[in-house]
Amino acid sequence: MRNVFLLNIFFLIIFSGCSSGKKSLEHGDYYNSVLQSVSRLRQNPNQKKAQQTLREGYPMAVRRLEDDARNRMASNAPFKWKSVLSSYKKINTMYEEINRSPGALRVISNPSSYYSEMEEARNSAAEESYRAGLDMLAENNRESAKQAYYHFRDADGFVRGYKDVLDKMADAKFIATLKVVIKQIPVPGRYALSGGFFQDKIEEYVHSFNRNEFVRFFSTIEAENENLKQPDQIIYISFDDFTVGETHIVEKTVEYSKDSVKVGEVVMDDGTKIPAFNTVKAKLTTFNKKVISRGVLNFQIIDAYNDAVLTAEKFPGEFVWYCEWGSYNGDERALTSKQLKITKLKEIAPPQPQDLFIEFTRPIYNQLTNKINSFYRNY
């Protein structure tokens, strides 16, 4: 039954892909009915249903698109030339698709094209988007500058390099972009190297931040080099407190015993030997060493215009390095295989303090980057 079901699905996909376009025609979607029928005729030039659909649908598709274009041109609708251009593009798409199908050309021998009209519409569409961008840019605020940037980008999409649109896009992008300076307070003393590594990782993250194209992060050095006189926000990052290499060793001695363990043999009066069983004992001493490193990062985002705190959080991090070893006195048969394994281990030195610092900052880094991502994603 499962194979039959899969076979039915397969044929459904095949037949839907080979649609003659009749259903689209019946629903008034003349444009798609033309594309579907042409596609079918490319596979089977003599398919009667596709021929009939194309014969009926094509004149109606062209008429509707021409009417849409004329009505838009006669209206005062915003961005009307963008709609006109869309209609012309569809007419030209049908023209190209029919010319690529000998079977379709036998049905529609002289399809319409609007290439010259499309070029005029393209220039008009570029101009209307360019003018809309200028109007929004003149409002000189961040949200309007965003819209101006999109309008200028549309204008450049219609006509590459239209007027001074690239310069206008840059102007709008600069005004629309939230400029954030990150100030990281250096870690003092012997952990400065690891602290610098942590700070570099943060700056690497924000410089690759792509969740919002209208947010840009600057280090203090970058802000100075680019002469950024007035940022919009400032991020302060500093360690409130941290401890590296806090060591705890727990020593424990426990006596273990096991009954009915063969300890030898007994010779009977008749000379036969039988096993001798007894209780065996062993004292196991284990050492558990923990080296704990932890810290708390203070994170604040400040409005650079009025010093208001926009958000503030503290991110904790901890790393525990663990080592276990042991020894025993007595009969090893009183111990389990796991306990014996411990007695074969030796005390080892923990990682260097610089490495321990990096380890406890890993969970802090994850919390910090998640916060930056969520705060600025839709800013």
pLDDT band (50, 70, 90) for residue 20 = low
> pLDDT digit string (tens) for 21-79?
889 999 999 999 999 999 999 999 999 999 999 999 999 999 999 999 999 999 999 99
Q: What is the pLDDT of residue 263?
A: 82
Q: What is the pLDDT of residue 3?
A: 53
Q: What is the mean pLDDT of residues 159-188?
A: 94
pLDDT band (50, 70, 90) for residue 194 = confident
> In this model, does residue 321 exceed pLDDT 70?
yes
> pLDDT digit string (tens) for 339-357?
999 999 999 999 999 999 9
Report the SS3 class of residue 336: coil
| The 309-330 sheet, strands edge to edge | 215-219, 178-184, 233-267, 273-303, 309-330
Residue among 235, 208, 212, 217 at smallest CA distance from 376: 212
> Is the overall model pTM greater than 0.85, yes or no?
no
Burial code (b: 16+ CB inside 10 Å, e: under 16) for 302-340 equals: beeeeeeeeeeeebebebebebebbebeebeebbeeebe
Q: What is the pLDDT of residue 339?
A: 94
Contact 287, 251 (CB under 8 A): yes
194 or 98, which is more confident: 98
Domains of the chain listed by start with CATH number:
14-113 (no CATH), 125-176 (no CATH), 183-376 (3.30.160)
Contact 34, 100 (CB under 8 A): no
> In this model, does residue 16 exceed pLDDT 60?
no
Tokens 């006195």, located at residue: 329
- Return mean pLDDT, the chain: 91
Find the helix packing angle between 80-99 and 115-138, rounded to 10°. Answer: 150
Cβ-proximal residues to 205 (8 Å cutoff; 6+ apart), any chain: 369, 372
The DSSP code sequence of 269-319 is TTS-EEEEEEEEEEEEEEEEEEEEEEEEEEEEEEETTT--EEEEEEEEEEE
> pLDDT digit string (tens) for 117-167?
999 999 999 999 999 999 999 999 999 999 999 999 999 999 999 999 999
